[in-house]
Amino acid sequence: MAMTSTLRSYLSRLKSLTINRYTIFLLFLLGYTEILQQHGGLPSLLPAWRLEIPLLLYLYFFFNQILRKSRLQPLVAAAPLVLFYGVFDAYYIMFGRMLRITEITELPEMFQVLHPLVIALFVALIGLPLLIFLASLDFRTRRASMAVASLPLLTLVLMVELTPDFFMTTFQETQQEIVFYSDTASARNNGRLSMMLYNEARRRSNHEKIAGHQMNPASLVDFDKVVAGLKDQRGKRNIHLIVLESFLDPALFKDAHFSRNPAHPAFSKLLAKKGGISISPVFGGSTAQAEFEVLCGAPALREFSGIEFDVFTGAKTPCLPQILAQGGYETTATNSYKPDFFNSTNAYAGVGFDKKYYPQEFAAGYDTYFSAGDVTGENFMFDGVLFSQNLEFITKRIRENPTLPIFNYVIGVYGHTPHDLNPAKRPMVIKMLGKSRDEGMEKAVNQYYYRTEAIAAFVKGLIAADPHSLIILVSDHLPALSGRETYKELNYLGGTVEATFRNRIYIIENGRPVRQNTIHHYDIPRIILNYATRGRYCREHDCNFTTHDSQFSKNAYRTDYLDIMSQAMDAASPLRMLEAKTQCVQ
């Protein structure tokens, strides 16, 4: 009897030591991440035991120290960390990449385009728990414990911000492998929070190093050479580059079936079987990343910001519009959304656009030629409304000044989630068939029908007004729909993760559609320069575009990326010397 009592006492003490709030917290996160990785989330937490798990336990301990004691204290203390992990997984499922600290700057843009119900859900799931956490802080009686418990956290943050190189070196020596071409593999090895800190340290380090970056003299010489090649061309031909928001081609879903052909007959007749594939840097969002690549000819590596355009100051950079402008083109950008979205005014000035146009509804004080029109029931400006006004503008511009070549860059916003259609203007005409039904996709497919009708009319109009020109239409990225599972389930180009970065591109040279092998978005400027110089550019440069999406291929362009970003982030850009030099020659 005494032995039984002693054994019970021992087991009770053991239970109090092991089955406590910290054990439950850790087991919950392990179980959560194990389940989420089976449904498209980031990898399980289990392998990341060197820093991530100790850091999570420390933060949970710290939060327990700064909260008022109550029965709900363990749950309230866990809420920020669980939400943190949930946001990471949701972001990865939606956009296919790891969240960076700097991407918090994207929140204002995100809230501008989200549906009110989604915003309400976001507030309910994230805002309310955080408000409860803040309301539970105990500043009166636990100041001393707060100060002591916060020292490790402050030390870690200061290391990242003040001594990023030291932090990175220590991290690399003590943690598991960092796979630079795969955020997923790095997160599996080291954890979400740990990699977020490492990526921030890397960003800080790169930002400091690029402050003294000078463009390679060979790059400056090449810039001059390309510009000279453009100037030498007689009878320069116009270029029209159209970026389509979330332009989804339903024909690329092998296992999706519809009540009719989703493409409008006019589009099928004009561009059927002429569509190519271009690999975007993003999936589901961050259009500005696709813009950076198609305008600057370098991969969007996110080494200085989650969105490259966000750190542009307006200083001139060696991007495509700047090259064309120096070579004798008038460069115009037509953006169908707000001027402050993704820092576009500074970014467009930096990449080299002479003129920037936005809808008059969003651009008080700006010179503009177009209006968003009635967006009732659809939230965003319809492509057809945008294209018809751009066609009228371009036709008039060519007629009035036929000898001055123009680079006509247009970016739409129609097709953005939630893919709403105004039934009075654009009723649903296509139904999804079979067991797999996705409401968002069905709406996107119906939008595709009306968008392809508008594209066909626009392209025909451009060819009539400007028959000897280059027209490129490319999707910025695929729509998120219900996440990558939709693309996998319906077998989009094989259903792989890599496939969700593959988008449609259409190229029309001198009125005739041509098909290009699979390229990346950052190859588009080279295609344009080759056309503008009548083949001279590719005779003098390597235009053997890679067709595999790997970090190795991207690293080949890293010098170009650094050259561009060093100029873009510095208002006292060394490129001003180049501009002054060019002006002197002129």
Q: Are 56 and 26 in contact (CB under 8 A)?
A: yes
* Mean pLDDT over each residue of the chain, to the nearest integer: 85
pLDDT at 547 over 50: no
Distances from the Cα of 42 to the Cα of 26, 97, 568, angstroms: 17, 9, 33
Distance from C-alpha of 550 to C-alpha of 547, rounded to nearest angstrom: 9
Residue with tokens 């002591």: 148
pLDDT class for 105, splitting at 50, 70, 90? low
Lowest mean pLDDT among 65-74, 231-240, 355-364, 395-404: 355-364
Helix, strand or coil for residue 80? helix
Choice between 153 and 556, residue whose per-residue pLDDT is larger? 153
Structure tokens at 269: 């007749």
Whole-number pLDDT of residue 396: 96
Q: Which residues, in sequence order, are bridge partners of residue 472?
A: 241, 507
Distances from the Cα of 103 to the Cα of 59, 199, 309, 377, angstroms: 22, 12, 12, 30
pLDDT tens by residue, 453-482: 999 999 999 999 999 999 999 999 999 888
Q: Are 371 and 392 in contact (CB under 8 A)?
A: no
Average pLDDT over residues 264-293: 92
pLDDT tens by residue, 193-202: 999 898 888 8
Lowest mean pLDDT among 267-271, 273-277, 476-480, 574-578: 574-578
Q: Are 561 and 301 in contact (CB under 8 A)?
A: yes
Q: Are 367 and 333 in contact (CB under 8 A)?
A: no
What is the percent of the chain where pLDDT is above 70? Answer: 87
Q: Which residues, in sequence order, are bridge partners of residue 520?
A: 279
pLDDT at 262 over 90: yes
Choice between 50 and 179, residue whose per-residue pLDDT is larger? 50
Q: Are 203 and 100 in contact (CB under 8 A)?
A: yes
Distance from C-alpha of 331 to C-alpha of 555, rounded to nearest angstrom: 29
Q: Which residues, in sequence order, are bridge partners of residue 433?
A: 257
Average pLDDT over residues 37-42: 83
Contacts of residue 241, defined as CB under 8 A and 6 or more positions apart, other chains included, come to 294, 407, 408, 409, 410, 472, 474, 524, 528
Choice between 111 and 35, residue whose per-residue pLDDT is larger? 35
What is the number of other CB atoms lying within 10 angstroms of the CB of residue 228?
13
Distance from C-alpha of 6 to C-alpha of 12, rounded to nearest angstrom: 10
Ordered by start, the domain boundaries in the chain are: 13-210, 217-585
pTM, rounded to two decimals: 0.73
Whole-number pLDDT of residue 580: 38
Distance from C-alpha of 81 to C-alpha of 359, rounded to nearest angstrom: 42
pLDDT at 102 over 90: no
What is the number of other CB atoms lying within 10 angstroms of the CB of residue 400?
8
pLDDT tens by residue, 202-254: 878 877 777 767 776 777 778 888 898 899 888 899 999 999 999 999 999 99
Contacts of residue 202, defined as CB under 8 A and 6 or more positions apart, other chains included, come to 164, 168, 303
| Helices within 175-316 (DSSP H only) | 183-190, 192-210, 217-231, 265-271, 287-296
Q: Are 391 and 465 in contact (CB under 8 A)?
A: yes
Contacts of residue 434, defined as CB under 8 A and 6 or more positions apart, other chains included, come to 255, 256, 257
pLDDT class for 10, splitting at 50, 70, 90? very low
Q: Are 543 and 530 in contact (CB under 8 A)?
A: yes
Fold of 217-585: Alkaline Phosphatase, subunit A (3.40.720)
Average pLDDT over residues 150-161: 91
